[in-house]
């Protein structure tokens, strides 16, 4: 395969669609954090240290509602358990000869979208390369952290005069979840998705939103175990 530029730059270029998607979501996270009473530095720290969109929004809800630290931490940890599968799935596609010497660093950037993009590149015949993974991950990470900073700097009142923009940004995350769900959808996963959705509704209505999320995930995963 003839390359016209280094793999790192290839990865950086491949991150552009993710950058476009991440920046507005991170911006809305920065705004939401300041609206919830957190400082810009705290919003920046959450994005820099956690780097997982949905669980960061949940962190705001849990911490601002006074949830105990351990409950909040383990809730966030449970939300990201799915990431355990991404590395093995990617390396299986990369093949036996793929190096992983620097995986301790580039794997930090293995989010849902980065995983999807990397897997897609391998499926299109591109050879696995650690510099490519660094470029792909770095573009996405930089977009996420900088979007948060800009959103927090713009502040909680930034979008008050723009209700339609505010609403659109607010729907960015549900839209992302739905698009991700469609991207991994297959007939075998339908019972898992249906059970997770129904239990989330029941748990939220009968107990609380946080319980609904945890019970929905667990019920869906258990439904997957029961599946033959």
Partner 1 sequence: MNWDLLTVALMAGAANWAFRALPILARMERVAASGWLGRFLASTGPAAIATLFVAAVLPSLTLDLARLLPVILGTLAVLAVWFTRKSVVLATLAGALAHGVTTWILG
Q: Hey, which residues between 32 and 91 contact partner 1 (CB under 8 A)?
A: 38-39, 41-42, 45-46, 49-52, 54-55, 59, 62-63, 69, 72-73, 76-77, 79-91
Taking the least distance from each CB to partner 1, the nearer of 9 and 223 is 223
227 is a site residue for partner 1 (CB under 8 A): yes
The answer to whether the Cα torsion of 73, 78, 84, 86 is positive or negative is negative
122 is a site residue for partner 1 (CB under 8 A): no
Tokens of 60: 């705001």
Site string for partner 1, 172-191 (x = CB under 8 A): xxxxxxxxxxxxxx---x--
Tell me how far, at minimum, the Cβ of 30 lies from partner 1, in Å: 14
Tell me how far, at minimum, the Cβ of 129 lies from partner 1, in Å: 14
13 within 8 A of 126, measured Cβ to Cβ:
no
Q: How far is CA 187 from CA 28, 176, 198, 201, 219, in A?
A: 34, 21, 18, 22, 18
169 is a site residue for partner 1 (CB under 8 A): yes
Number of residues that bind partner 1 (CB under 8 A): 94
Contacts of 191 (CB under 8 A, 6+ apart): 223, 224, 227
Taking the least distance from each CB to partner 1, the nearer of 3 and 92 is 92
Tell me how far, at minimum, the Cβ of 2 lies from partner 1, in Å: 27
The C-alpha atoms of residue 179 and residue 166 are separated, in whole angstroms, by: 20
Q: Which of 3, 6, 65, 108 binds partner 1 (CB under 8 A)?
A: 108
End-to-end CA distance of the chain: 41
């Amino acid at each position: 395969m003839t390359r016209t530029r280094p793999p790192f730059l290839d990865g950086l270029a491949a991150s552009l669609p993710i950058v476009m998607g991440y920046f507005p979501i991170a911006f809305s996270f920065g705004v939401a954090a300041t609206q919830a009473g957190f400082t810009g530095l705290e919003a920046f720290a959450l994005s820099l240290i956690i780097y997982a969109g949905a669980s960061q929004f949940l962190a705001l809800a849990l911490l601002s509602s006074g949830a105990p630290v351990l409950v909040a931490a383990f809730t966030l940890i449970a939300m990201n358990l799915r990431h355990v599968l991404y590395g093995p799935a990617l390396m299986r596609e990369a093949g036996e000869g793929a190096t992983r010497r620097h995986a301790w660093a580039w794997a930090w950037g293995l989010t849902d979208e980065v995983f999807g993009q990397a897997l897609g590149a391998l499926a299109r015949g591109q050879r696995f390369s650690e510099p490519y993974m660094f470029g792909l991950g770095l573009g996405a990470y930089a977009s996420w952290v900088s979007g948060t900073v800009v959103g927090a700097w713009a502040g909680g009142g930034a979008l008050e005069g723009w209700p339609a923009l505010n609403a659109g940004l607010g729907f960015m995350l549900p839209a992302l979840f739905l698009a991700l769900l469609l991207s991994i959808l297959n007939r075998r996963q339908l019972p898992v998705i249906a059970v997770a959705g129904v239990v989330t509704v029941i748990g939220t209505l009968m107990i609380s939103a946080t319980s609904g999320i945890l019970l929905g995930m667990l019920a869906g995963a258990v439904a997957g175990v029961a599946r033959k």
